[in-house]
Amino acid sequence: MSGKRSSDTDRSSPQEPGPKGGPRTERRWPMAAAVIASAVLTLLLPDDLRLGPRWALPLAEGLLLVVLISGDPGRISRRSTVLRSVAIALVVVLVGSAMWSTLQLIDDLIHGGHETNSADALLLAGGSVWATTVLAFSLLYFELDSGGPAARTHHMPPTPALAFPQHLSPELQAADWRPHYIDYLYLGFTNSTALSPTDVMPLAPWAKSVMTLQSVLSLMILGLVVARAVNVLA
């Protein structure tokens, strides 16, 4: 019946962009690939750097990802309270796991651990923890900025939480430009290497806090792992 409102958990999806442009929906596979890569890296970690049994976190992440893909496959366009809650839960699991592994790695470096006596094992473990941190925080930015990917598809706020170059220099952006996962992955990578904002400026307090936390974790991983590895080699 015309005029009937759809429920919050089943709103209509926007149409695909036409030849003259229009809002472009976010493809699901890049974020799904990031979740799978994070699960694989978790499996490669030593047991004392992993939260719970070897199978627990990858299973939880896989189940949550399956729910997201089943509820909104192909392109991310469906605004749903349930799917939004599942996406937030997935991000919490990923970030919580990355932070746990980072803290355990730092504890092993300070007090001594199985992987800290071999430079090769230490660099492999440290690199895996660092990579999972980058992926986890990139997905956090992706999910929290401007209400998430589905919300960004339908409406971009005048003042986003994260200001990309296209926001700061409107003449550089195409019509109806939206940040996609690759933009947030680049943000997560550069924030973990430069340890400060590069081309993306945090505007919201939560964005500044999260970027600060990621920089601190990355600084501890890179600094302590490299220092310990050099000491072992020497």
What are the tens digits of pLDDT across the range 47-62?
Answer: 888 887 888 899 999 9
d(CA 124, CA 118): 10
Instruction: Give tens-digit pLDDT for 97-154.
Output: 999 999 988 888 887 767 667 777 788 888 899 999 999 999 999 999 988 888 888 7
Residue 217 CB partners (closer than 8 Å, separation 6+)? 98, 99, 102, 133
If 0-12 CB within 10 Å is exposed, 13-18 middle and 19+ buried, where does residue 173 land? middle
Q: Where are the beta strands (DSSP E) in 49-158?
A: 75-76
Which pLDDT score, from 0 to 100, does residue 113 have? 67
Whether 1 shows a pLDDT value over 60: the answer reads: no
Which pLDDT score, from 0 to 100, does residue 225 have? 78
More confident residue, 121 or 90: 90
Which pLDDT score, from 0 to 100, does residue 233 have? 59
Structural element, H or E, at residue 26 = strand 26-27
d(CA 5, CA 3): 6
Tokens of 70: 């089943």
The residue-averaged pLDDT of 2-23 equals: 42
Q: What are phi and psi of 26, to 5 degrees?
A: -85, 130
Which pLDDT score, from 0 to 100, does residue 5 have? 42
Which pLDDT score, from 0 to 100, does residue 204 have? 93
Which pLDDT score, from 0 to 100, does residue 153 have? 82
Would you state the torsion angle of the CA atoms of residues 227, 102, 187, 198, taken in this order, to the nearest 10 degrees? -40
Which pLDDT score, from 0 to 100, does residue 232 have? 64
Q: Minimum mean pLDDT among 74-88, 101-115, 196-210: which range? A: 101-115
User: Beta strands 26-27 and 162-163: pairing type?
Assistant: unpaired
The residue-averaged pLDDT of 168-175 equals: 71
Q: How far is CA 41 from the centre of its chain?
A: 14
Read off the pLDDT band of 183 (50, 70, 90): very high
Which pLDDT score, from 0 to 100, does residue 208 have? 95
Q: What is the percent of the chain where pLDDT is above 90? A: 41
The residue-averaged pLDDT of 79-96 equals: 92
Q: Where are the beta strands (DSSP E) in 37-153?
A: 75-76
The residue-averaged pLDDT of 160-179 equals: 79
Read off the pLDDT band of 18 (50, 70, 90): very low
Structural element, H or E, at residue 27 = strand 26-27
Domain ranges of the chain: 26-233
Whether 22 shows a pLDDT value over 60: the answer reads: no
Model pTM? 0.83
The residue-averaged pLDDT of 19-28 equals: 61
Beta-bridge partner residues of 162: 202
